[in-house]
Amino acid sequence: MLRVGINGYGTIGKRVADAVRAQPDMEVVGVAKTRPNFEAEAAVENGFPLYAAIEDRMDRFDEAGIDLAGTVEGLIEESDAVVDATPSGIGAENAELYREYDTPALLQGGESHDAVDVSFNARSNFEAARDADLVRVVSCNTTGLSRLVAPLEEAYGIDKMRATLVRRGGDPAQSSRGPINDILPDPVTLPSHHGPDVKTIFPDLDVDTLGLKVPATLMHMHSINVTLEAAPSADEVRDLLDDEERTFLIPEHMDVDGAGKLKEFALDRGRPRGDIWENAIWEESISMEGTDLYLFQAIHQESDVVPENVDALRAVTGQADREESMETTNESLGVGL
């Protein structure tokens, strides 16, 4: 059993902890929090040993009546690998700690590619992360774009990719985020950071991305145009993407016209927290004009990187190859709507 520590038990960390617990070849050693709050209490209630991420704050947990198993250093020492799910910038600061204990660690997409040995997407470059010390699981949007690029590049070749990303202003619990009543080019300049980020996975890809932020919390929305080297039919592209476990084609008859209904659909299907681990692609949006492919896809920012973290754990520890890992992850979580 691979012993996994989770440093950070927030939006991503709590989902990764549940996903790791669901794996037949992994166990959660414990999770770390910087302060006592509802998520710290939930970790204990869910049976995860809780560690203090900051030793000087241990007394706060005691005052809140929350039992601790130790400090984050103890968690790292007991773990075969660590998932760092701390806020952006903190993971890079923690990197030296993981090196000190000779424990491979996964950072999240908010960190710089320069802070790690390799950036990771399971479908695209699983083997590149094998035996690496520090791996960055790329962001939710980069994950979504990479899941499209890999099969399209393999089947048809890609001349150029263009993507406009309409991004949620914040997660549902992020009351400090915005905009509240506005639509913001973010950034105004070309490209947004997503294009260069995709190139950390596909260095030779010609890709341009633009970003917008809108007053929504549900999901990101991508408008995609890919100029292919071949000219498949729209039906052939639909079949290709339908064969991928982590891309879900929304049938027209389902009458899902936006992110709201998509989340409702996930909840009705019994998905934990209404999570959608897959790219959700509107089937009828898949269109071909010559060699130009067009489609719309929704990306659930809180959850699509969760299976990628699980697969990255197997990659850095040499537990499995790509196909075996992805199959195990998908089956244990129920990926595939």
Active-site positions? 140
Q: What's the per-residue H, E or C state across the chain? A: CEEEEEECCCHHHHHHHHHHHCCCCEEEEEEEECCCCHHHHHHHHCCCCEEECCHHHHHHHHHCCCCCCEEHHHHHHHCCEEEECCCCCHHHHHHHHHHHCCCCEEECCCCCHHHCCEEECHHHHHHHHCCCCEEEECCHHHHHHHHHHHHHHHHCCEEEEEEEEEEECCCCCCCCCCCCCCCEECCCCCCCCHHHHHCCCCCCCCEEEEEEEECCCCCEEEEEEEEECCCCCHHHHHHHHHCCCCEEEECHHHCCCCHHHHHHHHHHCCCHHHCCCCEEEEHHHCEEECCEEEEEEEECCCCCCHHHHHHHHHHHHCCCCHHHHHHHHHHHHCCCC
Q: How many CA atoms lie within 13 Å of 275's alpha carbon, on the beta-carbon side? A: 22
